[in-house]
Chain A
Amino acid sequence: MKAIHARAATAAMPPDPASLFLEHAPSPMAATEGPEHVVTFANSAFLHLVDKTPEQLIGRRFCEVLPDMRACAALLDRVYGTGDPEKHTEQSHSDTDTDSWSYRIWPVIARGRSVGIVMQVTEKEDFNDLTLTMNEALVLGSLRQHELTEAADASNAQLQMEIGMRKRTEEELHRTQAELSDHAGELEGLVAERTSELTNTNQQLESFVYSIAHDLRAPLRAMQGFSDLLVEEAGAKLSDAGKGYADRISKSAQFMDALLCDLLAFSHISQRRVELNSVSLETVVASVLSRLSAIVQERNARVESVGPWPSVLAHESTLSQVVFNLVSNALKFARPGVPSLVRLRNEERAQVVRVWVEDNGIGIAPDHRAQVFGLFTRLNGEKYPGTGIGLAIVQKGVERMGGSVGVEAAPLHGSRFWFELNKAGTSPDR
């Protein structure tokens, strides 16, 4: 409510219910009229508050009769002048009373301008209660705010801690990752180093084996050559025993020469670079059989090649050596009095070609089949002289070409050796 329209306000008790309502209202209320603020109405509560009779107030100027409330004069002037209601609180109303008072003052407007003032005084208890409540609310509010701030601070701290932890975890992770990658790098370096060391060692070993075999052959040539000369030139002067000794020297030198040659071949096949190409088994088998034809004839043996022969992924001279060693092995281990029959055939399997070299010789006891490809393995004594390197060369050679070897029992007599190589046109990595 912005303004109350003035009615005929007189000192006499207003007869209408609105006037009754005002008269008996519990809060002190008064009204003035005109710019001099002549009091036109004061209810009982107001009279009681200022401790005056209606006669002392009505018809007189507000500031004259209530000098203690002089502070209000300027306020009354302002509300009357501006037409805007105001509130005012003042510390003390009388000398005895130190409590606070609150005034609500609003203008009475008629035809657009102020004609009077209405004021209501709020009692101190109410004010105090209000203040207390407000203070309490403020305290509570600030407590709550404090709590909230604390909670926020705590949760901030928690968050900071969590962020810190996460950061530390992340840093840890990064460090671990870095360490891991360092480690991996170190390992790689180590592997490269070891590989190069191994390659070096292998090369040294190869050249060591080579020079040993090479250098040992020189005195062997002399032993053999001079024992041959001895028999040839001084044979007439030698006893049979003496000729026999010279013969033993020569044979031993020959055997040692074979041993060194095989060792050189094994070392060579283990070390040399093997590049795989499509190689025709037909050509390789034919060339091996032609190289062996003299021995075949000499031993009254028979070698069968059962074609057709496919092409395989191989290194030609290595494959040639493998086939040569297997066939000469088959020819060598013949049963006494039984001419050798060697058969070469092949089976095409999914990705590979299996080559069989079968003989009718003395065979290999099942217990010994596993060792037969080992270096220097010899299963038979003097009757079948050999270096024990031939089949080791076979295995090493086939392995170098990405294949495998094996041996199986023949149904009646003899051995069935096989090796498998990838078919030509397939991938070499197996």
Chain B
Amino acid sequence: MSDKQTILLVDDSENDLFLMRTAFKKAEFGVLLQEACSGTQAIAYLKGDSAYGDRSRFPLPVVMLLDLNMPMQNGFDVLTWVRSQSGLKRLSVIVLSASMRGEDIERACDLGCNSFLVKPSSLDELIDMVRCLRGWVGINSYPSLDGAVGPGGVP
């Protein structure tokens, strides 16, 4: 298992994943950045389903960056599921959405996200945002997740 902290990035947009990856590099945010391109895949990762069974390769993240608008299981569904899992309910979830609609922000907060960030339009702003995130991840204190669920779960 890597000694780096893991961040799980969930977004269905290839472009946004790419730009985010670039921004992480440019911001020199040295974490293990894992990606899931759908809500379903994010849940599979967190559960440690077959493909993600090896927690040394796919460790539980310290933070999940979660897009909202995705087909099938969207961000709200993933958030709801996470908060209902005894081994995951304390996971830090930061919503990263293009939406700045009040009702989306309120709903996500009601469902228990830890922060709500709006995707910036320029790469520079995105890099600034990732730098802030790096700072935050560095100073944040993390709770014990108290045992994960699923076959590959870490107690």
Report the Cα distance A229→B124, complex, angstroms.
10
Q: Count the A residues whose beta carbon is within 8 Å of the partner chain — how many?
A: 21
Per DSSP, chain A at the interface is helix
Q: Is the CB of B22 within 8 A of A229?
A: yes
Who on chain A is nearest to B97 by CB?
Answer: A214
Stretch touching chain B among A22-30, A130-138, A217-225: A217-225
Report the Cα distance A221→B126, complex, angstroms.
10
Contact partner of B121 (CB less than 8 A), chosen from A210, A217, A226, is A217
Q: Is the CB of A221 within 8 A of B119?
A: yes
Give residues of chain B (1-53) contacting chain A, Cβ–Cβ below 8 Å.
13, 15-16, 19, 22
Would you give the shortest CB distance from A255 to chain B, in whole angstroms?
11
Could you jot down 24 A-B contacts, CB within 8 Å?
A210-B101, A214-B69, A214-B98, A217-B121, A218-B13, A218-B15, A219-B15, A220-B121, A221-B120, A222-B13, A222-B16, A224-B122, A224-B123, A225-B15, A225-B19, A225-B122, A225-B123, A229-B19, A229-B22, A229-B123, A253-B121, A254-B121, A257-B121, A268-B101
Q: Is the CB of A228 within 8 A of B98?
A: no
Would you give the shortest CB distance from B3 to chain A, in whole angstroms?
30
Q: A264 at the A/B interface (Cβ < 8 Å)?
A: yes
Q: Is the CB of A221 within 8 A of B16?
A: yes
Per DSSP, chain B at the interface is loop
Q: B99 at the A/B interface (Cβ < 8 Å)?
A: yes
Who on chain A is nearest to B99 by CB?
Answer: A214
B126 — which chain A residues lie within 8 A by C-beta?
225
Give residues of chain B (101-122) contacting chain A, Cβ–Cβ below 8 Å.
101-102, 119-122
Who on chain A is nearest to B102 by CB?
Answer: A272
Would you give the shortest CB distance from B75 to chain A, in whole angstroms?
14
Q: B100 at the A/B interface (Cβ < 8 Å)?
A: yes
Would you give the shortest CB distance from B129 to chain A, in whole angstroms?
12
Would you give the shortest CB distance from A320 to chain B, in whole angstroms?
15
Q: Is the CB of B121 within 8 A of A224?
A: yes
Report the Cα distance A36→B99, complex, angstroms.
143
Q: Is the CB of B123 within 8 A of A228?
A: yes
A222 — which chain B residues lie within 8 A by C-beta?
13, 15-16, 19
Q: Encode A249-287 as 1/0 by CB contact (under 8 A) with B.
A: 010011001000000100010001000000000000000
Report the Cα distance A217→B126, complex, angstroms.
14
B99 — which chain A residues lie within 8 A by C-beta?
214
Report the Cα distance A298→B46, complex, angstroms.
48
Report the Cα distance A250→B101, complex, angstroms.
25
Report the Cα distance A220→B16, complex, angstroms.
11
Give residues of chain B (44-101) contacting chain A, Cβ–Cβ below 8 Å.
69, 98-101
Q: Encode A288-320 as 1/0 by CB contact (under 8 A) with B.
A: 000000000000000000000000000000000
Report the Cα distance A257→B13, complex, angstroms.
18
B124 — which chain A residues lie within 8 A by C-beta?
228
Report the Cα distance A257→B123, complex, angstroms.
13
Would you give the shortest CB distance from A44 to chain B, in whole angstroms?
136
A217 — which chain B residues lie within 8 A by C-beta?
98, 121
Who on chain B is nearest to A221 by CB?
Answer: B121
Who on chain B is nearest to A317 by CB?
Answer: B102
Q: A218-B16, A222-B15, A222-B19 are in contact. Are A228 and B101 (CB under 8 A)?
A: no
Report the Cα distance A297→B98, complex, angstroms.
30
Report the Cα distance A218→B98, complex, angstroms.
7
Q: A229-B123, A253-B121, A254-B122 are in contact. Are A221 and B22 (CB under 8 A)?
A: no
A220 — which chain B residues lie within 8 A by C-beta?
121
Would you give the shortest CB distance from A277 to chain B, in whole angstroms?
17
Report the Cα distance A115→B13, complex, angstroms.
150
Q: Is the CB of B98 within 8 A of A221?
A: yes
Would you give the shortest CB distance from A81 to chain B, in whole angstroms?
124
Top 9 A-B pairs, shortest CB-CB distance: A222-B15, A228-B123, A225-B19, A257-B121, A225-B123, A221-B121, A224-B122, A224-B121, A217-B98
Report the Cα distance A225→B18, complex, angstroms.
10
Report the Cα distance A79→B125, complex, angstroms.
146
Q: Is the CB of A221 within 8 A of B19?
A: yes
Who on chain B is nearest to A264 by CB?
Answer: B100
